[in-house]
Amino acid sequence: MSNPVTETAGDPAAAMPEWPMPRAEGCPFDPPPALRPLSAGKGLATIRIWDGSTPWIVTGHAEQRTLLNDPRVSVDEKLPGFPHWHEGMAAGVDHRPRSVFNSDAPEHTHYRRIMTSPFTFKRVEALRPVIQRITDDLIDKMLAGPQPADIVEALALPLPTYMISEILGVPQEDHAFIHRSASEGIRRNATPEQAMGVFRALNDYLLGLIEKKTAEPADDVLSDIAVRVKAGDITLAEAAMMGIGLLSAGHETSANMIGLATVALLENPDQLAILRDTEDPKVVAGAVEELLRYLGIIHGGQRRIAKEDIEIGGEVIRAGEGIIIELFSANRDENVFPEPDVLDLHRDNARHHNAFGFGIHQCIGQQLARVELQVVYGTLFRRVPTLRLAKPVDEIEFKHDRLAYGVYALPVNW
């Protein structure tokens, strides 16, 4: 029989807690219980990941914001010691072109400027009537169909997929392929072959589409990106990477927020009543911020590496050491949010969450996500006040194995 004490005695790394950690049985909305005591008081600790390396994990709200704003902290995945999500991501490093996701300023600023303009507050607000119309149509269709209905398939997935595809100029008939590929791409345990296969399929698709947009431009983001390729501002490979990033980041995230929030609200009827009984857009907007804080759909930790020694929380992160920014834990930091594990749609400082990150890599699509969620939460529970889960919450399959947390399916009755 193995003896963990003698086996790990000569190897301090082997004795360290392993990340990712499981959430507690029966607590699908809370961070892993073992993480909190580990980093208590300092806001950071060291853990062991899949390749045996021992990066820092940062859980404190203030510590995260300090590091995410520090130019000595890099997203350059090619640097030795970078704490990759899994073997598949590590194996693909040399195949992924530079993009917002893996470059630091000033290179990052160049890519980001090309991507941000369609997602400004004003541009997204102009889309609100379209988002409302699609939401109403999808709910009509669900209500006209059989019960139980799967709310992920009926509403959570089609709305953000439709919106990001329309904005980018991706044909509707390709949605199923896009969704399948993007969803496979965020498997926590993807092998190098699986990860590369998904990347190649999406990359080939985007390369073809951008070439098509170069020949026949339309009024969409991929056509704008094609113009930048033609002008020599970016390469075709970088353009395809932008498309992959926007498509993947743009639909799984909001979809998970819709599915997971529906479970959380149905489990907290007093909170659901706040949304059901209000017509005040400010109350709905506040509820969206609190659900972003409480649900923690980005739960595996954002990956970084220190380029120089950094003193923080009484510790020194040495140059070359990996850093994992666990955004979800910061959103449950009691120094910022009193009673952090309580869902309180009237919480006055919910907007201080780190759910969209912080600093130069802060989410490009946050206004779009906010409006999608405001429309869905502000419509669904008012239009379907009798909505209820069609099976007990402990029989619902949560996405423990995905980099973005959510539910695979959510059968509901009304």
The contact set with ligand HEM (CB under 6 A) reads 100-101, 112, 119, 164, 245-246, 249-250, 253-254, 257, 297-298, 302, 327, 355-357, 361, 363-365, 368-369
Residue closest to 74 by CA, chosen among 108, 43, 44, 48: 108
Instruction: Assess whether 181 carries a catalytic annotation.
Output: no
Residue in 250, 246, 262 with CA at minimum distance from that of residue 152: 262
| Closer of 12 and 209 to ligand HEM (Cβ) | 209
- We find the least distance from the C-beta atom of residue 383 to ligand HEM, in angstroms, to be 22
Catalytic residue among 226, 240, 249, 404: 249
307 CB-near residues (< 8 Å, 6+ apart) = 72, 73, 74, 79, 319
Identify which of 98, 16, 38, 71 has the alpha carbon closest to the alpha carbon of residue 305: 71
* Whole-angstrom distance, CA of residue 36 vs CA of residue 41: 10
Sheet of 388-389, strand order? 149-150, 411-413, 388-389
Query: Which of these, 147, 157, 155, 158, lies nearest to 390 by C-alpha position?
Result: 147
Between 26 and 100, CB nearer to ligand HEM? 100
Which one, 46 or 99, has the nearer CB to ligand HEM?
Answer: 99
Verify whether residue 254 is a known catalytic residue.
yes
Task: Compute the least distance from the CB of residue 99 to ligand HEM, in Å.
Answer: 8
Active-site position among 34, 237, 363, 390: 363
Q: Which two tokens stand for residue 28?
A: 């699908």
Q: Which residues pair with 58 in a beta bridge?
A: 44, 325
Q: Which is nearer to ligand HEM, 152 or 369 (CB)?
A: 369
Instruction: Please state the length of the chain.
Output: 414
User: For residues 130 and 191, which CB has a smaller minimum distance to ligand HEM in the complex?
Assistant: 130
- Sign of the Cα torsion 96, 97, 98, 99 reads negative
Q: What are the residues whose beta carbons fall under 8 Å from the beta carbon of 371, sequence distance 6 or more?
A: 124, 125, 127, 128, 131
Query: Cα–Cα distances in Å, from 240 out to 39, 132, 201, 218, 349?
Result: 39, 30, 11, 17, 38
CB of 359 to ligand HEM, least distance (A): 7
Q: Which of 63, 252, 289, 321 is catalytic?
A: 252
Cβ-based nearer residue to ligand HEM, 229 or 297 = 297
Catalytic residue flag (residue 211): no
Q: Which of the following is catalytic: 238, 321, 326, 372?
A: 372
Query: Is the distance from CB of 303 to CB of 33 less than 8 angstroms?
Result: no
Q: Which of 254, 261, 264, 290 is catalytic?
A: 254
Give CA–CA dist 98/238, Å, rounded. 6
Give the residue nearest to ligand HEM (CB): 365
**Cβ of residue 363: shortest distance to ligand HEM, in angstroms?**
3
Establish whether 372 is a catalytic residue: yes
Q: Where are the beta strands (DSSP E) in 98-159?
A: 149-150
- Please name every residue paired with 312 in a beta bridge, in sequence order, or none if there are none: 315
Q: How far is the CB of 144 from ligand HEM (least distance, A)?
A: 28
**Burial of 129 (C-beta count, 10 Å sphere; 0-12/13-18/19+):** exposed
Tell me which H or E stretch contains 184. Answer: helix 175-185
Based on the residue annotation, tell me whether 252 is a catalytic residue of this protein.
yes
CB of 25 vs ligand HEM, minimal distance in Å: 25
Pick 152 or 314: Cβ nearer ligand HEM: 152
Least CB distance to ligand HEM at residue 325 (A): 7
Q: Which is nearer to ligand HEM, 142 or 298 (CB)?
A: 298
Least distance from ligand HEM to the Cβ atom of residue 68, Å: 6
**Which residues are part of the catalytic machinery?**
249, 252, 254, 363, 372
